Structure 1
Amino acid sequence: MTALSSLYPQPLWQWFAQICAIPHPSKHEQALSRHIQAWARDKGLAVHEDQVGNLIIKKPATAGMENRKAVVIQAHLDMVPQKNADKVHDFTKDPIDAYVDGEWVTARGTTLGSDNGIGMASALAILGSDDIKHGPLEVLLTVDEEAGMTGAFALQPGVLEAEILINTDSEQEGEIYMGCAGGVDAEFSVPMQWQPIPAGHQACRLSLTGLKGGHSGVNIHLGRGNAAKLLARFLVMSAAELGLRISEIVGGSLRNAIPREAGVTVTLPAANQALLAEKVAAFEALLQQELAAIEPAIRFAMAETILPSQVMAPQCEQTLLNLLHACPNGVMRMSDDVAGVVETSLNLGVITTGGDSVQVVCLIRSLIDSGREHVESVLTSLAALAGVSIKFNGAYPGWKPDPDSPVMAIVKATYEDIYNKEPVIMVIHAGLECGLFKKPYPEMDMVSIGPTIRYPHGPDEMVNIETVGQYWQLLLAVLERIPEKTAA
């Protein structure tokens, strides 16, 4: 962490080192929240924790800036907990092992938490500074953004006084975001009946690993393999011929991350073990050929394991495999309005095996409500054909672009003045919280900026050091340029 704390800008990186040292995965932000609250009170800042755990910290304007419009700098407290299979790490107890790797900061074997730790660190660094010029300032740190946007959903009107909100959760320097996708979770429930292990069967564990995964919005257009979908493909191709019977199947761990790993425990006649090994090797070779450019580290392995206590009834197993294989995944449609941006997508994110059912959780994203509703109807039809149930929950709205946004114009002009080039005005295919903030604060003017972050939501996550400095310079310059309040 010493190396991180010496980077520019030091106040930001010193805070990021502290954030990495305190575990804060989604739904476990309390320790970090308590640390920040204690620090803010020691600084004499007004701190409020709302009913769900969101933090609102207020700081008066610096001298001469009292008449400027108030600004909210917003970030989320939680991070995505993802690790490589061979990494021993408890996200609720262990610090993130962050380090400098050339031009980047990354972590050893886990997600880094630069999403949204860098934005949070910038807000806290400004709160702690005595020489940064700004008007009346509020910092909003929300909880559980990555796992359900619980904090944003619960934000109440009247808590914030500012007219302008700067969201810090964007992930590309040189781009200013003025809109984002909405989304909804879709959960299939496949009923299960169980049978004893057939006589003469042996058990194996098949594991598909080594994929890149990543953010199911930002990275969905890159053609990365979905481990859950690929495993289902193999099972549909081979289960009947080999006499495979499934005891357990799992894939992915977060609905908003592309699954990097998937595994299945199967039993099969002992005489078919050698043929299974051949088919596993052949399928690995096939995937390595098909995905050579995007998934160079993909592996498909087979290992003997102890016999489970039961296996799925054949009809239940067939229904599950057909559902997984037929379920759409990836880009559904590109935007006609914003070149190069995904309009609608679907990520088959998590498969879990329970006592009486297998749960399959997907995340639908779309820039337009009709796009989301169309995919909902497709999945509803698929559930009806399969004879399984489906429910949709956690729907959140998109953030409708406002091309006339005054704060966007300020950020754009400031960027041009500092860097002598035009930024790209963008809409992001990810779920920023701004859309939810519009409900309690419909008149609030919003914009989103951030440094360059690669591969968020996966263990390859990294943040570019130079762009953190550029983001910091832009943020401070924008705060200094915020206009005066409009006369009543």
Structure 2
Amino acid sequence: MYRNLEELTSHPVFHYFAEISKIPRGSGNEQAISDYLVRFAQERNLPVIQDAALNVIVKKAATSGYENAPAIIIQGHMDMVCEKNQDTLHDFNKDPIQLRIIEDMLYATDTTLGADNGIAVAYALALLDATDIPHPALEVVITTEEETTMNGALAVDASHFTGKIFINLDSEEDGKLLVSSAGGVHVTQVLPITWANASSDTVAYRIGIKGLKGGHSGISIDKERGNSTKLLGRVLHGLSTEFPYALQQIDGGLKPNAIPREAQAIIHIQPSDINSIQEKVEQWQHIFKEELQSSDAGVTVSFEACTSTSTNVFSEETKRKVLTLLLLIPHGVQAMSKGVEGLVESSTNLGVVTTTETEIQFENEIRSSVKSAKAYMVTKAEALANLLGCEVRIDSDYPEWPYNPQSKARQLFEDTYREKYGKEIDIIAVHAGIECGVFIEKIPGLDAVSIGPDIFHVHTPDEHISIPSTINNWEYFIYTLKRMKVD
């Protein structure tokens, strides 16, 4: 076991993971990490392309004896989800990720770790830097904005590639070979705000939901964890049936593809109702603790006085529409796969709710491995929006990755695993969005697989990665490259 970071970073993969952890790389803020990758390639005299979307493509010639083997495309993404708890002082635009080892796991310190998908970047850099690893010609592509829009992958010029075997390094379970994934689309329902004036005899209070686990909206959606914004909507609706309050602001979640862990609303109430509302809030906390005792036992509902700098509140009509949207926008699993036992087919995640000066935005991440089912969920979101006078914004529509029963790449990785470990690798499909589907649409005949080490609680401040698994998966990866020699 590695006892400290100095020992751990003596391994080439963790050396480069530590290096990129010093560089801000939240989605949409990839200039610095993209430039770092370009410099890395230039310093090693490797051909490199940086496109307008800041994707980086690095090529490396085949090692001796592998000149006749087909080129291999290796892919990951450079951006990460930037999540922290509200009381954590960390600026993702400039502060490095603070790494720490606990037993055989690598964590950040009160923030997301960025192993999703920094570990792919570290694997790629270690491979490109190595002089003792045999391999075919490599075409390494590291994309941007995977965690938000997949615009990086969508912008890649496929003419840069000659390879037909595609190894994605964005999987999160060691000993498993990923061969299919869901498609997705980002749908935002935008409600215009009609403002009114708060009564002069009211006081401002903040209602907050905290203590939820959250998680990746694809991988963790079947765990039925609480959605802070949906829970807050239930509280606000319940209070509206008993107390004449005005709603001033509501915000929840940070990323559309992360199940929201925290949410808050500011309401204006009569001083005479404070104690009664406090009792109702305590009742809601008891209800949620019972409902979520297995998934989110730490849930809390707070009610505290706050200072409001504005007397503007939502009109009663806007308030009614907000509560209706919070109640009726679906969240969670919508359908299970009929062909793969235990696999989520379709889901939706109400990931972010934001109040601005003019509108309230409800951001949803819709996923499905069936194109028509994804389209149907979008249609329902549009229908609800139309009923309530909302604008609908649709973007980041990316394709599913269908299972390929004739995949030679899958067979190669299966054979290699059996040869190396003496047992069968698990073949899996996931409900998360993987960029393989985008590249398969761009490159006819592309044959894709995805591998990766054990990563836990991605998209949350508790994200961590298994150190032994990372090393094991790395050795499996380079062993498979070595096996690609053509005599």
TM-score, L = length of structure 1: 0.97
Aligned to 2:469: 467
1:480 & 1:407 partners in 2: Cα distance? 14
Aligned to 2:139: 138
* 1:462 CA drift (Å): 1.0
Aligned to 2:48: 47
Kept after mapping to 1: 8 A contact 2:110/2:461: yes
Aligned to 2:113: 112
1:127 & 1:2 partners in 2: Cα distance? 27
Kept after mapping to 2: 8 A contact 1:208/1:262: yes
Mapping for residues 356-371 of structure 1, pairs under 5 Å:
356-371=358-373
2:318 & 2:44 partners in 1: Cα distance? 60
2:120 & 2:318 partners in 1: Cα distance? 46
1:227 & 1:310 partners in 2: Cα distance? 25
- Identical-residue share of aligned pairs (%): 37
1:53 & 1:318 partners in 2: Cα distance? 43
Mapping for residues 420-431 of structure 1, pairs under 5 Å:
420-431=422-433
AA partner of residue 466 (structure 1): P
Kept after mapping to 2: 8 A contact 1:5/1:13: no
Kept after mapping to 2: 8 A contact 1:168/1:449: yes
2:51 & 2:294 partners in 1: Cα distance? 47
Q: Is the deviation greater in 384-393 or in 239-248?
A: 384-393
Q: 1:93 to 1:2 in 2, by over 3 A?
A: farther
* Deviation per residue, 1:346-396 (Å, 9 max, x gap): 000110112222110101000011110121122222223333332322211
AA partner of residue 107 (structure 1): A
AA partner of residue 439 (structure 2): F
Aligned to 1:166: 167
AA partner of residue 431 (structure 1): G
* Deviation per residue, 1:137-169 (Å, 9 max, x gap): 121100111110111000112111222110000
Asked if 1:328 corresponds to 2:325, the answer is no
Kept after mapping to 2: 8 A contact 1:5/1:14: no
1:245 & 1:16 partners in 2: Cα distance? 49
1:393 & 1:54 partners in 2: Cα distance? 19
* 1:5 CA drift (Å): 5.0
2:34 & 2:67 partners in 1: Cα distance? 28
Tell me which of 301, 311, 314 is aligned to 2:313. 311
Q: Is the deviation greater in 11-20 or in 153-162?
A: 153-162
* Deviation per residue, 1:208-238 (Å, 9 max, x gap): 1111111000000001000000000110111
Asked if 1:233 corresponds to 2:231, the answer is no
Aligned to 2:101: 100
AA partner of residue 91 (structure 1): F
Secondary structure of the 2:419 match is: helix
AA partner of residue 170 (structure 1): S
Aligned to 2:263: 262
1:5 & 1:66 partners in 2: Cα distance? 37
AA partner of residue 435 (structure 2): E
Kept after mapping to 2: 8 A contact 1:6/1:13: no
Secondary structure of the 2:266 match is: strand
Secondary structure of the 1:180 match is: strand
* 1:66 CA drift (Å): 1.3
Aligned to 1:355: 357
Secondary structure of the 2:189 match is: strand
1:199 & 1:9 partners in 2: Cα distance? 64
* Deviation per residue, 1:232-275 (Å, 9 max, x gap): 01101112412221111001011100001100011001111111
2:80 & 2:358 partners in 1: Cα distance? 32
Aligned to 2:216: 215
AA partner of residue 238 (structure 1): L
Kept after mapping to 2: 8 A contact 1:329/1:348: yes
TM-score, L = length of structure 2: 0.97
* 1:51 CA drift (Å): 2.0
AA partner of residue 122 (structure 1): Y
Secondary structure of the 2:242 match is: helix
2:288 & 2:391 partners in 1: Cα distance? 32
Secondary structure of the 2:478 match is: helix
* 1:205 CA drift (Å): 1.1
